[in-house]
């Protein structure tokens, strides 16, 4: 794509940091891992940070470390990346889909209560597209109904809810560092938690179930190899140092899009500011107006691609995925999820997107909206 959907932003000093690890004898489980974990913990206000090899493995370890098991129900949004529900199913627990708020695209707290059953153990909250979910009412439901809260902050490092960084505010949370994210480690993720018990278990599970206190090769748990190498951690340490300036830059890109598109009555734009919250812009997702069908949205997506502009159709709801169609379990209607999924279009969004490129994306999108066949 001439103008891709996303593009990592890697500096020369970051390349140097990575190559200098390759000149040392420690390529895994070394000082860079510890430094990266300490940096993420310090930045987010978490007591513990455990680096893993993806956001998905981080979510899986949260489920395992919190004791969620076969037959337990976990409330999740369907308007989300598929790993959110997969991580629940890895442990034979059941994801129960709840609708999102039509404005924020985050879990609608008012719809959660109706989905709770005696088997519900947890609410898995996603900070969709980097916009913090409405945590206060979710925490109060969780307290009242004795449920755990897991924050999927894979798309939201640096986002704040009432002045506090999201991630470690619930029982456990996860950040993701795939190359399309605000900062990247190539592949990777970090679990954050205030609980030393959850942290110790997650740390052991990441490394084949080996406990810290145990002897070499003593495995107390059925664990995994979810380790993150020193090479990835070295990149993460350097990227994290630049996160604040990256977030400011992404905020400017979002405002540039808004300025150019806000006059178009047929587009629903993401809110630029939400009171009491700081958005960490992951992607810029517009929704086409009611006159557009899903097929027409797809036509626009293809036509943008044929002009060299990469767009995304975020999200295809999880309950529409073939692997989830046969899933047993209670299911609410999900009208906001389905409406938004059919009309959403993620526009090219990355740190170094140029003004002229934003102009071209906006102009092409609006031309195609007029040209779309019936
Ligand atoms: C909301 C959300 N959860 C989980 C993940 C999984 O992260 P990873 O791709 O690093 O496994 C992602 C994305 O990439 C995501 O966007």
Residues 187-229 have pLDDT tens digits of: 999 999 999 999 999 999 999 998 766 566 788 889 999 999 9
Q: Assess whether the C-beta atom of 81 lies below 6 angstroms from ligand 1.
A: yes
Give the nearest ligand 1 atom to 178 CA.
Answer: 10
How far is the C-alpha of 93 from the C-alpha of 332, rounded, in Å?
18
Predicted confidence at residue 218, as pLDDT, reads: 80
Ligand 1 touching residue 56 (CB < 6 A):
yes
Active-site hit among 32, 165, 181, 268:
181
Does residue 181 carry a catalytic annotation? yes
Q: Tens-digit pLDDT profile for the chain (374 aa)?
A: 999 999 999 999 999 999 999 999 999 999 999 999 999 999 999 999 999 999 999 999 999 999 999 999 999 999 999 999 999 999 999 999 999 999 999 999 999 999 999 999 999 999 999 999 999 999 999 999 999 999 999 999 999 999 999 999 999 999 999 999 999 999 999 999 999 999 999 999 999 998 766 566 788 889 999 999 999 999 999 999 999 999 999 999 999 999 999 999 999 999 999 999 999 999 999 999 999 999 999 999 999 999 999 999 998 999 999 999 877 555 789 999 999 999 999 999 999 999 999 999 999 999 999 999 99
Q: List the residue whose alpha carbon is closest to atom 8 of ligand 1.
A: 55
Determine the pLDDT at residue 368. 98
- Rounded to whole angstroms, the Cα distance separating 2 from 213 reads 53
The response to whether residue 51 sits with its C-beta less than 6 Å from ligand 1 reads no
* C-alpha to C-alpha distance for 152 and 80, rounded to whole angstroms: 10
CB-ligand 1 contact for 176 (6 Å cutoff): yes
**What is the atom index within ligand 1 of the atom nearest the CA of 87?**
4
| Extended beta strands in 209-362, E state | 267-268, 277-278, 284-288, 344-347
Residue 80 Cβ contacting ligand 1 at under 6 Å: yes
What's the 309 CA to ligand 1 centre distance in angstroms? 23
Find out whether the beta carbon of 151 lies less than 6 Å from any atom of ligand 1: no
Tell me the per-residue pLDDT of 51-106, one tens digit each, with 9 for 90 and over. Answer: 999 999 999 999 999 999 999 999 999 999 999 999 999 999 999 999 999 999 99
CA 358 to chain centre: 24
Q: What is the pLDDT of residue 329?
A: 58
Which residue's CA lies nearest to atom 7 of ligand 1?
55
Determine the pLDDT at residue 332. 84
Query: Mutate which of 176, 189, 224, 312 to test ligand 1's pocket (most atoms within 8 Å of Cβ)?
Result: 176
Which pLDDT score, from 0 to 100, does residue 220 have? Answer: 84
Q: How far is CA 197 from the centre of its chain?
A: 24
The CB of 130 under 6 Å from ligand 1? The reply is no
pLDDT at 102: 95
In the reported structure, the alpha carbon of residue 187 is separated from the centroid of ligand 1 by a whole-number distance in angstroms of 10
Residue 80 CA: which ligand 1 atom is closest? 1
What are the start-end ranges of the E strands in 60-113? 73-77, 94-98
Distance of CA 293 to the CA centre of its chain: 27
Rounded to the nearest angstrom, the distance between the alpha carbon of 102 and the centre of ligand 1 is 22
């Amino acid at each position: 794509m001439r103008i891709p959907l996303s593009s990592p932003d890697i500096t020369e000093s970051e390349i140097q940091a990575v190559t200098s690890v390759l000149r040392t004898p420690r390529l895994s489980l070394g000082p860079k891992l510890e430094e990266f974990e300490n940096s993420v913990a310090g930045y987010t206000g978490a007591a513990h940070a455990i680096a893993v090899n993806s956001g998905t493995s981080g979510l899986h370890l949260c489920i395992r470390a919190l004791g969620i098991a076969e037959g337990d129900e976990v409330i999740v949004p369907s308007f989300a990346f598929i790993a959110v529900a997969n991580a629940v199913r890895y442990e034979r627990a059941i994801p129960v889909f709840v609708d999102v708020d039509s404005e924020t695209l985050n879990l609608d707290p008012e719809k959660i209560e109706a989905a709770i059953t005696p088997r519900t153990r947890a609410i898995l909250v996603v900070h969709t597209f980097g916009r913090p979910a409405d945590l206060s009412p979710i925490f109060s439901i969780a307290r009242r109904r004795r449920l755990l809260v897991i924050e999927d902050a894979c798309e939201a490092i640096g986002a704040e809810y009432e002045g506090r960084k999201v991630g470690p505010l619930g029982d456990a949370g996860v950040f993701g560092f795939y190359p399309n994210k605000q900062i990247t480690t190539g592949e990777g993720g970090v679990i954050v938690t205030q609980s030393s018990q959850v942290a110790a278990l997650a740390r052991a599970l990441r490394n084949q179930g080996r406990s810290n206190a145990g002897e070499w090769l003593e495995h107390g748990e059925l664990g995994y190899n979810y380790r993150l190498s020193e090479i990835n951690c070295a990149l993460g340490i350097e990227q994290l140092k630049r996160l604040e300036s990256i977030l400011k830059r992404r905020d400017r890109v979002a405002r540039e899009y808004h300025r150019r598109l806000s006059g178009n009555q047929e587009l629903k734009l993401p809110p630029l500011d939400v009171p009491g919250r700081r958005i960490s812009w992951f992607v810029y997702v517009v929704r086409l107006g009611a006159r557009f069908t899903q097929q027409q949205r797809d036509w626009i997506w293809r036509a943008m691609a044929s002009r060299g502009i990469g767009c995304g159709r975020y999200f295809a709801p999880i309950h529409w995925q073939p692997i989830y169609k046969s899933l047993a379990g209670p299911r609410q209607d999900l009208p906001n999820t389905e409406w938004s999924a059919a009309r959403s279009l993620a526009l090219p969004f990355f740190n170094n997107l140029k003004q002229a490129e934003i102009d071209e994306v906006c102009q092409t999108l609006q031309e195609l909206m007029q040209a779309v066949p019936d």
